[in-house]
Amino acid sequence: MTATRRQILGAGALTAGAALAWPAQAAAPERPAASPAAGGTDLLRARRLRPGDTLALVSPANATYEREPLDIAVDAVQALGFKVKLGAHVRGRYGQFGGTDAQRAADINDAFADDEVAGILALAGGSGCNRIVDKLNYALIRRKPKFFGGFSDLTSLVNAIHRQTGLITFHCPVAGSEWNEFSVQHFKAVVMDAEPDLLSNPQERSGNIVPTQDRISTLRAGVARGPLVGGNLAVLSSLAGTPYFPDCQGAILFLEEVNEYIYRVDRMLSTLRLSGALDRLAGVVLGKFTNCGPGDGHFGTLTLDEVFDDYFLPLNVPVYRGALIGHIRRKFTVPVGQPAEMDALAGTVRLLSAAVT
């Protein structure tokens, strides 16, 4: 019998001590010698998700203050065809976070340890994932690779897990996202159907003679191949200089942002440039920079176009802007660490193989 949402919410929690006890403060990991694509840590792929699989919902970032958002997230994951198991602290709160650092990390570690769980999906983004990247059991994750996904603040975890273990993770909608037809189609293609998906914006004219929505802007034409790394710019730049920052050598870097003044976007990009992260990229894919403007009193500053030109044109690699990646309704599912080919003139990213087994 299929469990109701009430049964799931009442009895489906992961126990804090399930399968593996893991200390709140893990030893700091060693930096891998090289990225999987460069021949270092072996590239790991989780098995594809199948209808009827159990997904663990965890809250590694912000707390969920009301009951309804959790209900909606559970309904959405069930509508995708999965069973739901809630992390023991998914309803937790410590300040703005979904529990203490130890609790949030424990839910992730327990989900990887739990043989009943086929994959782990974040309930929501927000903030706080940087606080727990050093508390995950990466040795366990290497032994039991599973689907792990989320976006926004989850940029920390999807990149840290890939960097430390070689596991392909997924920059994808969180459980509490709007799961519209477009987002569901790309999620299922990449994660369930194991397709070498083509990430391409739809060209909708909406009654106009030319497309006016979700347009692609090519900064520098060209084709490049490399592993996909990246995510939210603010979160990614905050990892610079740590063992959890992705190996960008020969990589295709994808970036998105929301609600940041342009001068802050400029400062974050300067952090990536000064850290050397931009030096040996194969290419750059810029997603949506939603509500990123000059801000009150800052008119006359550089535009986003000018900032992107300043940082990316000198790299002499293919760059395009406008991919459906970011804090937007329709989202691609982007596998972090997956080898891909980008075409900056066409505005596409093609996965070179399946991201799951």
Residues annotated as part of the active site? 152, 256, 327
DSSP symbols for 239-262: TTTSTTS---TT-EEEEEEES--H
151: left (phi over 0), alpha (psi -120 to 50) or beta: beta
Q: Which residues pair with 57 in a beta bridge?
A: 86, 121
Say if residues 62 and 89 touch (Cβ distance below 8 Å).
no
Q: Give SS3 for 76.
A: helix
State the angle between helix axes of 262-275 and 304-312 in degrees (0 to 180), rounded to the nearest 10.
10
Return the DSSP state at 43: P
224 in Cβ contact with 283 (< 8 Å): yes
Query: And the tokens for 210?
Result: 């030319």
Contact 266, 182 (CB under 8 A): no
Backbone Cα Rg of the chain: 20
d(C-alpha 91, C-alpha 315), whole Å: 45
Strands 252-258 and 283-290: parallel
Phi-psi region of 69 (alpha: psi -120 to 50; beta: other; left: phi over 0): alpha
CB neighbours of residue 134 within 10 Å: 19
Residues near 9 by beta carbon (within 8 Å), at least 6 away in sequence: 70, 71, 74, 86
Whole-number Å distance between alpha carbons of 66 and 156: 25
Rounded to an integer, what is the distance from CA 101 to the centroid of its chain?
20
Q: Which of 321, 325, 328 is nearest to 347 (CA)?
A: 321
Return the ∠ at Cα 83 (arms to 77 and 89), rounded to 5°. 80
